[in-house]
Amino acid sequence: MPTSMPTDTSDGPPAESEACAYTAYEDGEAPAEYPKTGAGATGAEADVWAALYEVEDPEMPVSVVDLGLIYDVAVDEASGLCEVEMTLTYTGCPARDMILNDVRCAAETAPGVDRADVRLRYTPGWTVAMVTDAGREALREFGLSV
């Protein structure tokens, strides 16, 4: 279990959670089309976006969509294949496999999706400028100054 995750102990309250020590929460510039939020999506793609909003970063109570990690969602409704392109806040993220699996599983819950493939992209590079307003608020509530 990562040490930054809250733990439940029988002899005291849960430990405080901490943000990833490797992620730079500094402003940068995001390309004009980011963050992508699924606004305007229809059909199965809208259902996938809704499911992705339920996937939280394992270290912070913020959805992967609100963190600006989802770069694209495409669904071929004829084949039931969903393709999700995303990034991580840190290229060496220790929760990489967990996040990818959570995103894949969430996408596969959407009606009309039989299989989901998740592909990591690191271009454009993630910056805190890609975080949505709701994500910024959640990060502030978590204790980060963004």
Residue among 10, 27, 44, 13 at smallest CA distance from 144: 27
SS3 70: strand
Q: Per the domain annotation, does 15 fall within a domain?
A: no
pLDDT digits (tens, 9 = 90+) for 74-130: 999 999 999 999 999 988 889 999 999 999 999 999 999 999 999 999 999 999 999
Percent of the chain surpassing pLDDT 70: 81
CATH of the domain at 88: 3.30.300.130
Q: Per the domain annotation, does 60 fall within a domain?
A: yes
Q: Per the domain annotation, does 9 fall within a domain?
A: no
What predicted TM-score, i.e. pTM, was given to this entire model? 0.80
pLDDT digits (tens, 9 = 90+) for 85-98: 999 998 888 999 99
Domain residue limits at 51 = 43-139
- Domains of the chain: total: 1
Q: Per the domain annotation, does 59 fall within a domain?
A: yes
CB within 8 Å of 60: residues ≥ 6 apart: 17, 19, 67, 138, 139, 142, 144
